[in-house]
């Protein structure tokens, strides 16, 4: 090769190399902060009425709807007229969310994880997780409206369009009556069922049912089996039936729980719930593991657990249960619940949602559920006042629960709006999203509200009273 040709190729390579260095040079420039290195956050495409970079949360307000477990619903307002709804865990005080108001007002609601990181130290198990979870939900509703996409699209891709609902029911000591109550649930279109079996319904006040420690005797366990068998006969032995055993009195030791779980094996239950009670019972993963290894009855717990690391990781890592049972209003809202369920999926554990809340939270749960690969069903605890419960929201087809399923909305955000006239009929506390200046400082206030609400009691009578079996 001649010297002239060799020099020409060398010069070309030199120019190409210089262009490459010029293009990547800014990547190595130190700017003093991660945000500066990565550049300003940009958002788009977006709704025309919203300017995301200038969007700010201006207020948090709340209402409380009267129910068996009252429904505290929050609304995050912004400086551009966009707002988002969230719901605190049922029966929790609205203050568990409103107390966090000064930590979120003034923030850009599109910074979901940044806001959640700021309020996470104030979250906890049980109802204490309700504030964090409600704010997460409201942020996702708000973001979906800004970007013009449904909440499910913000957190994943849709695996199915309808979410199966499992229905709870009143308890009774009479097996025949219990079966009749559940048969009516089936006539309403439900296809997945749950019943309570506790010391009250097995006749705990009668001689020989419980021992001196309140644990069911063999006679008590046999009585529990009579109740379950009557319900199975009423709904069909092929229909999924779960049993809530939180009040069955077997929280003293794994051995008591093993006796019960083995006695229930012949019913092939969808799951046996909360053997060691609600509250902090989920922390007894070693006991759950011991029971699981001794029975074929499928075990489930988790409704009062907050967070993957804080609440669910030990249960999942140790394969202590067959199914997890997060309540989105405690577990951490959309993002955290999605993370918990996906982690469980990797360990071969399926997900069932606990839900005792209003249609606002139920729709949020449906958005998350439809993105999961291991989802089974979500609870409805409002079957005895289902008509007005469903009418609390608009924007979705009615009835909301149709043949045992909820259709997941595809409209922006949660895809719903509150039905103001119906909501106002059922307020526990007068006032519709009134200003909350009293929450300008971080605080947590007292117990939740309680009182009468319109519903059918276990005798099928429409009443407006507080009943003792909720």
Residue ranges, CATH 3.20.20.120, the chain: 156-431
Q: Are 227 and 216 in contact (CB under 8 A)?
A: no
* Mean pLDDT value of segment 333-357: 98
Cα gap 289→282, rounded to integer Å: 11
Cα gap 221→203, rounded to integer Å: 11
Residue 104 has pLDDT above 70, yes or no: yes
Lowest-pLDDT range of 94-108, 121-135, 168-182, 436-450: 436-450
How would you classify the pairing of strands 401-402 and 405-407?
antiparallel
Residue 210: closest CA among 201, 199, 226: 199
Cα gap 21→43, rounded to integer Å: 29
The CATH class given to the 156-431 domain equals alpha beta
Residue 286 has pLDDT above 90, yes or no: yes
Residue 253 has pLDDT above 50, yes or no: yes
Residue 192: closest CA among 162, 172, 221, 222: 162
Q: What percent of the chain has pLDDT over 90?
A: 83
Say whether the peptide bond before residue 399 is cis (omega within 30 degrees of 0).
Answer: yes
Compute CA distances 98 → 86, 114, 213, 321, whole Å: 11, 18, 41, 35
Give the pLDDT confidence score for residue 458 in this predicted structure: 82
Residue ranges, CATH 3.30.390.10, the chain: 59-153
Give the pLDDT confidence score for residue 37 in this predicted structure: 43
Q: Report residue 297's pLDDT band, with 50, 70 and 90 as the boundaries.
A: very high
Give the pLDDT confidence score for residue 22 in this predicted structure: 41
Give the pLDDT confidence score for residue 1 in this predicted structure: 47
Rounded to 5°, angle at Cα 405 from 278 and 465? 55
Q: Are 166 and 102 in contact (CB under 8 A)?
A: no
* Mean pLDDT value of segment 356-382: 97
Give the pLDDT confidence score for residue 453 in this predicted structure: 87
Other C-beta atoms closer than 10 Å to the C-beta of 218 total 11
User: Cα(first)–Cα(last) distance of the chain, in Å?
Assistant: 93
91: left (phi over 0), alpha (psi -120 to 50) or beta: left
Q: Please list the alpha-helical segments (H only) found in 148-271.
A: 151-155, 175-187, 218-235, 254-263
Give the pLDDT confidence score for residue 459 in this predicted structure: 85
CATH code, 59-153: 3.30.390.10
pLDDT tens column, 166-209? 999 889 999 999 999 999 999 999 999 999 999 999 999 999 99
* Average predicted confidence (pLDDT) for the chain: 90
């Amino acid at each position: 090769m001649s010297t002239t040709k060799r020099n020409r190729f060398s010069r070309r390579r030199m120019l190409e190399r210089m262009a490459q260095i010029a293009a990547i040079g800014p990547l190595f420039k130190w700017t003093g902060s991660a945000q500066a290195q990565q550049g300003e956050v940009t958002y788009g495409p977006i709704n025309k009425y919203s300017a995301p970079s200038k969007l700010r949360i201006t207020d948090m307000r709340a209402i409380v709807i009267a129910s068996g477990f009252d429904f505290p619903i929050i609304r995050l307002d912004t400086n551009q007229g966009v707002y988002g709804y969230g719901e605190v865990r049922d029966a929790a005080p609205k203050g568990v969310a409103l107390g966090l108001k000064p930590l979120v007002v003034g923030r850009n609601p599109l910074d979901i994880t940044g806001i959640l990181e700021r309020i996470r130290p104030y979250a906890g198990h049980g109802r204490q997780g309700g504030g964090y979870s409600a704010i997460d939900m409201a942020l996702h509703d708000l973001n979906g409206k800004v970007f013009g996409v449904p909440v499910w699209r913000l957190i994943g891709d849709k695996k199915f369009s309808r979410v199966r609902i499992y229905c709870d029911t009143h308890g009774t000591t009479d097996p025949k009556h219990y079966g009749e109550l559940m048969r009516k649930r089936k006539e309403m279109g439900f296809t997945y069922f749950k019943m309570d079996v506790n010391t009250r319904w097995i006749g705990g006040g009668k001689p020989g049912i419980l021992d001196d420690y309140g644990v069911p005797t063999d006679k008590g366990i046999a009585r529990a089996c009579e109740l379950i068998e009557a319900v199975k006969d009423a709904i069909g032995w092929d229909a999924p039936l779960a049993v809530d055993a939180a009040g069955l009195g077997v929280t003293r030791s794994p051995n008591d729980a093993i006796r019960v779980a083995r006695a229930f094996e012949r019913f092939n239950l969808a799951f046996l719930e909360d053997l060691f009670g609600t509250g902090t019972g989920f922390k007894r993963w070693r006991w759950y593991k011991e029971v699981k290894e001794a029975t074929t009855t499928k075990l489930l717990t988790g409704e009062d657990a907050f967070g993957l690391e804080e609440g669910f990781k030990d249960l999942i890592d140790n394969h202590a249960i067959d199914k997890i049972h997060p309540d989105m209003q405690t577990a951490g809202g959309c993002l955290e619940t999605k993370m918990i369920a996906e982690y469980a999926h990797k360990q071969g554990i399926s997900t069932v949602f606990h839900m005792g809340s209003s249609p606002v939270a139920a729709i949020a749960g449906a958005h998350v559920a439809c993105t999961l690969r291991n989802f089974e069903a979500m609870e409805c605890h409002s079957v005895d006042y289902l008509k007005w419960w469903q009418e609390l929201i608009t924007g979705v087809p009615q009835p909301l629960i149709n043949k045992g399923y909820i259709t997941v909305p595809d409209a922006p955000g949660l895809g719903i709006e509150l039905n103001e006239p119906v909501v106002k009929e059922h307020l526990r506390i007068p006032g519709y999203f009134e200003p909350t200046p009293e929450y300008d400082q971080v605080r947590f206030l007292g117990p939740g509200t309680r009182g009468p609400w319109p519903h059918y009691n276990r005798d099928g009578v429409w009443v407006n009273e507080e009943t003792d079996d909720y």
